[in-house]
């Protein structure tokens, strides 16, 4: 089995695969809306059927807090062969604002080799790519080079609230030597890339009270504490004039990049004007002395995500606000510990807030960072598969986001690698989500190549 045979298979299968994907995309599997629970169930069933028809065995719906994840495996490679777990998700983001869609989100359209629909690239297209790679290999070889397992989750878009529990419960069945995630993007069709890390996340909800109730600004203003000012002071104090986070010890564990990583980052093309245009901003700001990609992928950040106080309705209400609320999200990079940042944040708030303010800090979430070393054998094999198909060595990037990959790696104790074929302008989570079909076809060949390459990985 080589590249050519796989490409041949993909070429012969395009109409059928596209037909299946379109049928799947018609199912509005929006996990955020309980009204779509029936669609989540239909979507899981649809996915299960695709796995079965591809030759995957033991296909089953696994309940995660009542929401179906899809499992299936093919274990015919024997106990000496490595096991590979493919992860993706079949739920999709909500679709509003609906009036910004050029066509209804669940009525897929294909034009100029681009498929448009909610879920096209995030993540149904990338899941079907993995299923088709397995189908192609099974069809051509009659077996697979590795033991292959699929876990296709149904609540990724709402933060995977039951994934840890599911992974703990099914740890044995899901155990693998490597986890392949197909739910990310590449830099561009002619700049193949793969992610080697995701950032961690810890968030804080800070409640502030400076009086028993709001006070009249004419009678009391100018002589009593103002909760809005306390919140604004905390928000403003979070960074210094170099935009470095002021939490004590915040950067202590942050390591500089290895030479190869720094080189990959330096080779990553960056268009400042386009970057600003995509963000819809006039200027960039952030940690001094660091490039934008360094800041979003390799450096920890603290963002004020909400700041509320006083009266926000129409007109004016002349008060001194008694309460304020501040929410801060901190993204962590490898080696940082969510617990240490939690302690540091609490100590910092206690030191910054005036004594007259009652301040409560609630920690929300806590996802650890994930990192697969750039020189890990599985990363090398993935790099070769991508290079075979795209004709260029991939750049190694770091994802700024935080996702379920960390739980997969931590609980299943296996390295996580990313074969993601989405593109930056695929409108993830936004109106007019799209998938470039060439990326899908190339990705299918690469997914097959990857399985062939992973055969040489040591099984544990």
Residues binding Zn ion (CB under 5 A): 122-123, 183
Q: Which is nearer to Zn ion, 122 or 261 (CB)?
A: 122
Closest CB to Zn ion among 39 and 183? 183
> In whole angstroms, how close is the CB of 89 to Zn ion at the nearest point?
6
Helix residue ranges per DSSP H, 176-334: 227-237, 259-267, 272-279, 292-293
In the bound state with Zn ion, the residue whose beta carbon lies nearer, of 147 and 399, is 399
Residue 123 CB, nearest approach to Zn ion (Å): 4
Shortest distance in whole angstroms from residue 127 CB to Zn ion: 10
Nearest CB to Zn ion, comparing residues 96 and 242: 96
Phi, psi of 412 (to 5 degrees): -90, -5
Q: How far apart are CA 83 and CA 174, in angstroms?
A: 9
Q: Which CB, 183 or 287, lies closer to Zn ion?
A: 183
DSSP H/E element including 451: helix 437-454
Mention every residue, 6+ apart, whose C-beta is less than 8 A from residue 279: none
Q: Which is nearer to Zn ion, 160 or 344 (CB)?
A: 160
Alpha carbons 82 and 149: distance in angstroms, whole number: 11
- Residue 52: DSSP 8-state: H
| Angle ∠(22,28,29) on CA atoms, nearest 5 | 110
| CA 207 distance to own-chain centroid | 29
Residues 260, 361: contact at Cβ < 8 Å? no
Q: Minimal distance in Å, beta carbon 156 to Zn ion?
A: 6
CA atoms of 10 and 12, how far apart (whole Å): 5
Task: Specify the residue, 31 or 226, whose C-beta has the smaller distance to Zn ion.
Answer: 31
Strand order in the sheet with 301-309: 301-309, 323-332, 200-209, 358-367
The whole-angstrom separation of Cα 163 and Cα 226 is: 42
CB distance 292 to 275 below 8 Å? yes
- For Zn ion, the closer of residues 159 and 233 by Cβ is 159
Planar angle of CA 150, 42, 83, nearest 5 degrees: 5
With beta carbons less than 8 A apart as the criterion, state whether 330 and 251 touch.
no
Nearer to Zn ion, 214 or 436 (CB): 436
DSSP-assigned states of every residue in 238-280:
TB-TT--B-STTTTTTPPPPPHHHHHHHHHS---HHHHHHHHT
Say if residues 165 and 457 touch (Cβ distance below 8 Å): no
CA angle 398, 158, 175 (to 5 degrees): 65
Q: Which is nearer to Zn ion, 39 or 122 (CB)?
A: 122
CB atoms within 10 A of CB 292: 15
- How many residues appear in the chain? 460
């Amino acid at each position: 089995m080589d590249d050519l045979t796989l490409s041949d298979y993909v070429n012969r299968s395009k109409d059928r695969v596209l037909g299946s994907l379109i049928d799947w995309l018609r199912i509005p599997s929006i996990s955020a809306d309980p009204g779509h629970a029936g669609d989540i169930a239909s979507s899981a069933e649809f996915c299960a059927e695709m796995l079965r028809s591809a030759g995957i065995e033991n296909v089953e719906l696994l309940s995660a807090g009542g929401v179906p994840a899809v499992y299936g495996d093919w274990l015919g490679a024997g106990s000496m062969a490595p096991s590979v777990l493919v992860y993706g998700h079949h739920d999709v983001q909500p679709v509003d604002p609906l009036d910004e869609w050029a066509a209804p989100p669940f009525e897929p359209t294909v034009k100029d080799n681009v498929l448009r629909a909610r879920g096209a690239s995030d993540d149904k297209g990338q899941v079907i790519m993995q299923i088709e790679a397995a189908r192609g290999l099974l069809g051509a070889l009659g077996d697979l080079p590795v033991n292959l397992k699929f876990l296709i989750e149904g609540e990724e878009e709402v933060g995977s609230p039951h994934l840890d529990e599911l992974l703990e419960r099914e740890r044995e069945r899901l155990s693998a030597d490597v986890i392949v995630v197909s739910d990310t993007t590449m830099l561009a069709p002619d700049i193949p890339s793969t992610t080697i890390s995701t950032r961690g996340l810890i968030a804080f909800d800070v409640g502030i009270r400076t009086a028993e109730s709001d006070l009249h600004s004419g009678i009391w203003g100018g002589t009593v504490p103002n909760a809005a000012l306390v919140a604004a002071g905390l928000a403003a104090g979070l960074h210094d004039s170099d935009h470095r986070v002021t939490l004590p010890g915040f950067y202590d564990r942050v390591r500089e990049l290895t030479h190869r990583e720094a080189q990959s980052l330096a080779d990553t093309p960056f268009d400042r004007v386009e970057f600003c245009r995509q963000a819809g901003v006039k200027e960039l700001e952030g940690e001094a002395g660091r490039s934008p990609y360094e800041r979003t992928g390799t450096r920890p950040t603290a963002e004020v995500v909400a700041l509320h106080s006083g009266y926000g309705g129409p007109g004016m209400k002349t008060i001194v606000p008694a309460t304020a609320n501040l929410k801060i999200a901190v993204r962590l990079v490898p080696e940082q510990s969510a617990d240490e940042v939690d302690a540091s944040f609490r100590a910092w708030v206690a030191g910054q807030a005036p004594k007259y303010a009652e301040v409560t800090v609630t920690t929300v979430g806590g996802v650890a960072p994930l990192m697969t070393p750039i020189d890990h054998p599985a990363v090398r094999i993935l790099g070769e598969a991508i290079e075979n198909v795209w004709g260029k060595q991939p750049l190694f990037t770091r994802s700024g986001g935080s996702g379920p990959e960390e739980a997969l790696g931590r609980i299943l104790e296996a390295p996580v690698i990313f074969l993601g074929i989405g593109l930056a302008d695929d409108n993830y989570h936004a109106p007019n989500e799209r998938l470039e079909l060439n990326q899908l076809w190339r990705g299918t060949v690469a997914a097959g190549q990857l399985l062939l390459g992973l055969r040489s990985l040591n099984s544990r």
